[in-house]
Amino acid sequence: MIRRAIDQCGRPMVLSLSPGEAPLSEADNLIKNANMWRVSNDMWDNWKNVRHNFDLLDKWSPYIRKHHYPDADMMPLGHLSLNGRPVGPDRMSHLTKNETYTLLSLWCIAHSPLIMGGDLLTSPKWVISLLQNKEVIEVDQHSSDNHQVFRNDDEAFWMAKGAKPGVIYIALFNLEDKQQTIEFKFDLVPGLKGYYKVRNLWSKKDLGVRMKSISAALGAHGAGLFKLEE
């Protein structure tokens, strides 16, 4: 009913649905009628919630379409629950810096809508600076073929194609409770071979040319987001 009303209203409009953890059995119906839909229950500032979204976004990645996006929920970053509402006391997000980078990297590489859940005026400057990283936002807004390459209890890899031919985005995730070096070997992906210029999107630094792999020393629950260009 809402979809039909929007189609007849005479102007563009985005329909965002919030069904909680949407069932995969409704995927076709959601794609047909909505522009974005929640695939997660209420997302709050704890690692358990972030980690669960690795599983959810992996399952929903085949259903990403232009103008139709699985929504991992608002991002509980910065200053939350002002005046003790809606959940828990007034606080700064309990997510660590590493977990904040992981959340943003996952949401972007999985093409989730980016909805800031904290108060912009009173959140820490370093949080706001992450939201202003245009190179990272580019991954969320202008990539395709977003999907998980590999995941186990220790690490995960996601990738996507850039809007420009020859550009690939790779996200490395450390799921462990301790620092470790995460290495993404190109031969994990058929056809990913040759020389690539590599850029760290979070630090905005070029890392030179790589042929067989990229790696990063990541803190507990940390992430790296890279651009590979032929």
CA angle (39, 45, 49) in 5-degree steps: 40
Quote the pLDDT of residue 201: 98
Q: Which two tokens stand for residue 24?
A: 């995969």
End-to-end CA distance of the chain: 47
- CB environment 157-190: b (16+ within 10 A), e (fewer): bbbbebeeeebbbbbbbbbbeeebebebebeeee
Quote the pLDDT of residue 105: 98
Is 61:146 a contact under the CB 8 Å cutoff?
yes
Helix-then-strand count for the chain, H and E: 6, 13
pTM: 0.96
Tell me the percentage of the chain whose pLDDT exceeds 70.
100
Query: What's the rounded mean pLDDT across residues 176-187?
Result: 97
Q: Which two tokens stand for residue 145?
A: 């073929």
pLDDT in tens, 35-94: 999 999 999 999 999 999 999 999 999 999 999 999 999 999 999 999 999 999 999 999
Q: How confident is the model at residue 9 (pLDDT cuts 50, 70, 90)?
A: very high
Q: How confident is the model at residue 19 (pLDDT cuts 50, 70, 90)?
A: confident
- Contacts by 82-89, CB closer than 8 A, 24 or more apart: 82/119, 82/122, 87/42, 87/44, 88/44
Is 65:36 a contact under the CB 8 Å cutoff?
no
The Cα-based distances of 25 to 21, 30, 31, 60, 98 in angstroms read 12, 10, 12, 11, 34
Q: Is the pLDDT of residue 184 over 90?
A: yes
pLDDT in tens, 98-142: 999 999 999 999 999 999 999 999 999 999 999 999 999 999 999
Query: What's the rounded mean pLDDT across residues 135-163?
Result: 97
Quote the pLDDT of residue 213: 96
> Which domains, ranges and CATH numbers included, belong to the chain?
2-137 (3.20.20.70), 141-229 (2.60.40.1180)
